[in-house]
Amino acid sequence: MQHLLEVKDLQTTFFTPNGEVKAVGGVSFNLDQGKVLGIVGESGSGKSVTAYSIMQILTHPGRIVGGSVKLSGQELVGISEDEMRKVRGNRISIIFQDPMTSLNPVFTIGNQLMEVITLHTNRDEDQAKERAIEMLRLVGINEPEKRIHQYAYELSGGMRQRVMIAMALACEPDILIADEPTTALDVTIQAQILELMMDLQKKLGMAIIMITHDLGVIANMCDEVIVMYAGRVCERGTAPEIFYNPRHEYTRGLLRSIPNIDNDEKTRLIPISGTPVDLLNLPTGCPFAPRCDRAMKVCLNELPVEYWVAKDHIASCWVNVLENVGAPLSALGGQDAATGVEGEEAAK
């Protein structure tokens, strides 16, 4: 079956004066129509760079150095900028964390909304304006006829994010990438925006890639989850698998370290020790090994292979490979899921 988006072994490197930073070091995943995929990780884990690589909006010294991104079968890596512009905002849209800096302060909201519409469709200005008003109404902004003449500074944070969503969805994209869409917002406004996104997802049927560091947002919205650390995928699987059956020590650590609001007794949190990894000096083995309590010799020396925990659950952690499979390491070659296809068939 063809997936809507197929990302295979995507690699993005930033060529900085201090050395090469492998921000994304081989990420693979598939996204199907109408699904919500969550990418969770800490700052510097490469989750945003993964999204920017898919959209090809990387800033200078960053470059895609390998892998492929296929949108309904069409390869995006290596196509011309002109062709990519037809995809951006039209078939794949993105909304950013900070709605203040991602809206242009010198143009009205209507102006910016109409730009997307006239660029990607045959609508003339009047029709574009109509569509802009319709989109603003869809995202729950009252009096849209007045609002289109306003500027970004006249709106609150939550309203601006609604405008961003309206802009991203104006051309009915197949995929909406949301890069920390609620991190800059208050909890009650976050609840509004998440509700709106889920509502629109049901109405319009697009797929969403939700990038966040908040496991709560992931649990509430996502069908599938990718956990990233130091530019690599630690684990990917359905949301219940990741939350109730984590098979990577990093995922386990992450889930343990968040305070549980339903716990009434005074307990200590269990943090992940150490400091975040330095991407300029990545360790040879598993990037998480220096912070892992259960790291073994093999973790420090060799990158873990991906293996299938269940039909819809992949992890790459030596500790869990040995714990669960119990097979000698050499026997794992056949279950290597790094390339995706063979592994998928093997699991079936």
Partner 1 sequence: MSEMNAFQPDPQYLVQVRDLKQYFPISTGFVQTTMLKAVDGVSFDIKKGETLGLVGESGCGKTTVGRSMLHLYKPTSGEVWFGGRKIEKGTVMADFRKKAQLVFQDPYSSLNPRMTVGDIVAEPIDVHKLCANKKERSERIQSLLSVVGLSSEHATRYAHEFSGGQRQRIGIARALASNPEFIVCDEPVSALDVSIQAQVLNMLEDLQSQLGLTYLFIAHDLSVVKHISDRIAVMYLGHMVELASSNELHHHALHPYTISLLSAIPAPDPIKAKQQKRIVLGGDIPSPLHAPSGCPFRTRCSRCTERCAQEMPEFLEVAPNHFVACHNL
Nearer to partner 1, 214 or 344 (CB): 214
| 186 binding partner 1? (CB under 8 A) | yes
Which one, 93 or 182, has the nearer CB to partner 1? 182
Alpha-carbon dihedral sign for residues 52, 58, 62, 65: positive
Distance in angstroms (rounded) separating the CA atoms of residues 92 and 171: 9
What are the backbone dihedrals phi and psi of residue 253, each rounded to the nearest 5 degrees, phi first?
Answer: -60, -40
**Residue among 141, 169, 177, 254 that touches partner 1 (CB under 8 A):** 254
Q: Which stretch binds partner 1 (CB under 8 A): 4-12, 106-114, 153-161, 203-211?
A: 153-161
* Integer Cα distance of 93 and 221 in angstroms: 18
Of the candidates 31, 92, 272, 286, which one interacts with partner 1 according to CB under 8 A?
272
Q: How far is the CB of 118 from partner 1 (least distance, A)?
A: 31
Q: Pick from 258, 327, 329, 346: which binds partner 1 (CB under 8 A)?
A: 258
Interface with partner 1 in residues 200-219 (CB under 8 A): 213-219
CA dist 255 to 37, 217, 252, Å?
18, 13, 5
Strand order in the sheet with 5-16: 19-31, 5-16, 62-71, 74-75
Q: Is position 220 an interface residue for partner 1 (rule: CB under 8 A)?
A: yes
Query: Under the criterion CB under 8 A, does residue 239 sit at the interface with partner 1?
Result: yes
260 binds partner 1 (CB under 8 A): yes
Q: For partner 1, give the closer residue by CB, 194 or 314.
A: 194
Binding segment toward partner 1, per CB under 8 A, in 65-73, 203-211, 272-280, 293-301: 272-280
Residue with Cβ nearer partner 1 (1 or 187):
187
Strand partners, 29: 7
Considering only 19, 61, 78, 240, the residue that binds partner 1 (CB under 8 A) is 240
Decide: is 139 part of the binding site for partner 1 (CB under 8 A): no
Which one, 42 or 336, has the nearer CB to partner 1? 42
Which residue(s) pair with 13 in the sheet? 22, 63
Q: Under the rule (CB under 8 A), what is the footprint of partner 1?
A: 42-43, 156, 158-159, 186-192, 194-195, 213-220, 239-240, 243-244, 253-255, 257-264, 268-273, 275-276
